[in-house]
Each structure stands twice: as C-alpha cells, then as structure tokens.
C-alpha cells in the first residue's frame, strides 16, 4: 500500500512538472516571458543602463568611450554589407531585478547595413491589414523587416506612408522623425532632412520622436523626456539612424534589453550615428532577420494568438520597413 501511494505521488509530481514545463515553453514561445520578466523587474529602476565589455567591466552608458563600445560589441552574423552584433546590458533595481537578469540576461542588438548593397522600402498588406515582421520577411523576400509607423487602436497606420513614389497614408504633422528613400538612398532622422535632401519621396514612413542630428542629441530627450512622449519609461526601444557616410544603423532592444529614450540615444551617439529617430517600440516591437542559418525573429510580445484580453492580445502592426539585398548589376561589354 505504501509503495502504491508513493508511486501515485511520483506520478502526480511528474505530471505537475511536465505541465509546468509545457506551460513555460508555451509562454516563452508566444509571450517571450523570460524577457518580459526582466522588463517588469527593472521598469521602476532609477539606475542607469550598463554595458559589459570583453574586459569583464561594466560601464554606464554615459561613460562609454568609442574603444569601450568596440570591445563590447559581440558579433552574431556578418555578410557583405550587413553586420549584426549584440551588447550585453544590465540595470540595477534590487534583488528581483538582479535575479531576473542573472537567469535570463539582457541584450541590445546593433544592426549595420550598407545602403549600396541593400535597398530599403515600406512593406505592408493590402488596405494596411495588420501583419507581422516574420510575415513581411517571408512574403517580400527580405533580409530584414521591422515595425515602422505607430498605429491607432483599430490597427491603421499613423503618419504618412509612401511606396513606389505614391503617398498611401496622410501625414501626422506633430511627429518629428522620418524614414525616407530619395534617389534610391535611405535616410533616417529628423524631418528637417526631408527639405535638405532633394528629390521626390520614393519610400517613406514617419517616426517619433526624432532624437539626433549631426551627432547631437536633442535637448528635450534629457530635459523634457515626458513632455510629449514617455521618454523616461523603461521599455522596448527601436532606434534607426545613419552615419555621415550613409551607413544605416539600428539599435534595438533584445531579450530583456529595455531602455529609456536617453539611453538608446546615447548608445547611438557612441556608435557614431549622425542622425536618428525612434520607430514604434514597446509591446509592438518586432523584427526579423534572415541569416544563412535561417530566419531569426524577435517579438516583444505575442504576435500569433488571437486573445481578446488587452494584456494577451496579438501585437500586429500595419506597416514595416523592409530591407532587401540589391540585385547584382549586369555590366555589358560592347563588341
């Protein structure tokens, strides 16, 4: 009788363990639960983001030197014209924050793209039906896709959208950032660039807020971060910028790598970005990258399951920025 009871207890414990494991895998796959546990644990922290370098030293974002940054970037993937690297980060915030970051880690991704080798465009479904970065990557055969415009509660894009030289959505005048393509070249930064770069818009979306021009972070990012946007909020961030030579750089929250606007802007400055704007972030952030090992996806939250509760609902967006490798030019030789 004792052995029988003991055997039943073991079966119950194994069933509970299996059920817990299945629940965890489900939550991790669909809700990125490990990353979001880190995000919740540090969201009220007053401590500054720190970056780890390969000399085993943690540096606050504001004290990083260009040398520190080069020693901190961990290469994940490289091909002609495209390089993906990761920064390991952490933030003080008490015992829970330390435990969560110790178990799950926290990271920020840096993607550097040569516009001479890749073309940039807007990517969306007919009538701006909501979609995902993974779907845009596959449908449009892209190398990279990322959320662009903010959206209204009904899922429609806020701000102008241009595609193949046609304006398909009206402007949102208050927003200060932009992505656009003129003369086949992509630009990211404040809307003042629109007047400085001649020519008609070929592809474009709006961003908010713009954070930097000519290597200088705008004063409102630090002095008035919450006057018009939740700049001091620690959440998933997406920054797109460009260097003086036209190289495009994305600074993106990865698993647990939540930031405020000042921190992501300072990382951009230390990466020698000249002009920059934020794209849609928070729970909506998602991006996908194609490598030789197959597609790699990041989603801040659920993008696939159609739950109605506001905490669990699918986060899908109408408009994405797409990046595709340029077709090789064929040079003909005359007789």
Residues 6 or more apart whose CB falls under 8 angstroms from that of 79 comprise 291, 292
Which pLDDT score, from 0 to 100, does residue 333 have?
A: 55
- The reply to whether omega before 240 is within 30° of 0 (cis) is no
Which pLDDT score, from 0 to 100, does residue 3 have?
A: 63
Which pLDDT score, from 0 to 100, does residue 55 have?
A: 78
Which pLDDT score, from 0 to 100, does residue 66 have?
A: 84
Q: Where are the alpha helices (DSSP H) in 130-240?
A: 133-139, 193-196, 219-223
- What are the structural domain ranges in the chain? 32-325
Which pLDDT score, from 0 to 100, does residue 189 have?
A: 98
* Residues of the chain under the 70 pLDDT cut: 1-6, 329-335
Q: 143-182, pLDDT tens digit by residue? A: 999 999 999 988 999 999 999 999 999 999 888 999 999 9
Residues 6 or more apart whose CB falls under 8 angstroms from that of 141 comprise 324
Cα–Cα separations (whole angstroms), residue 193 to 180, 185, 266, 268, 275: 9, 13, 21, 18, 9
3-class secondary structure, 139? helix
């Amino acid at each position: 009788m004792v052995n029988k009871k003991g055997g039943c207890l073991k079966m119950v414990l194994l069933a509970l363990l299996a059920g817990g494991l299945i629940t965890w895998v489900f939550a991790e796959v669909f809700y990125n639960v490990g990353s979001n546990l880190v995000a919740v644990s540090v969201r009220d922290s007053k401590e500054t983001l720190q970056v780890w370098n390969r000399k085993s030293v943690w540096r606050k974002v504001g004290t990083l030197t260009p040398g520190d940054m080069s020693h901190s970037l961990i290469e994940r993937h490289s091909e002609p014209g495209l390089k993906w690297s990761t920064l390991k980060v952490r933030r003080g915030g008490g015992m829970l924050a330390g435990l969560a970051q110790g178990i799950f880690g926290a990271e920020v991704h840096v993607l550097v793209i040569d516009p001479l080798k890749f073309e940039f465009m807007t990517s969306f479904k007919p009538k701006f039906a909501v979609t995902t970065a993974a779907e845009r990557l596959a449908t449009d055969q892209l190398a990279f896709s990322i959320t662009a415009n903010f959206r209204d509660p009904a899922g429609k894009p806020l701000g102008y959208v241009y595609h193949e030289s046609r304006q398909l959505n009206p402007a949102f005048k208050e927003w200060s950032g932009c992505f656009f393509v003129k003369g086949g070249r992509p630009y990211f930064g404040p809307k003042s660039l629109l007047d400085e770069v001649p020519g008609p818009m070929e592809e474009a979306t709006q961003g908010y807020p713009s954070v930097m021009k000519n290597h200088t972070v705008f004063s409102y990012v630090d002095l008035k971060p919450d006057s018009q946007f939740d700049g001091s909020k620690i959440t998933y961030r997406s920054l797109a910028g460009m260097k003086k030579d036209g190289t495009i750089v994305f600074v993106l929250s990865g698993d647990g790598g939540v930031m405020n606007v000042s921190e992501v802007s300072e990382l951009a400055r230390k990466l020698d970005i000249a002009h920059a704007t934020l794209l849609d972030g928070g729970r909506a952030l998602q991006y996908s990258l194609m490598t030789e090992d197959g597609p790699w996806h990041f989603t801040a939250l659920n993008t696939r399951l159609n739950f109605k509760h506001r905490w669990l609902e699918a986060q899908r967006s109408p408009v994405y920025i797409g990046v595709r490798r340029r077709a090789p030019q064929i040079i003909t030789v005359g007789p």
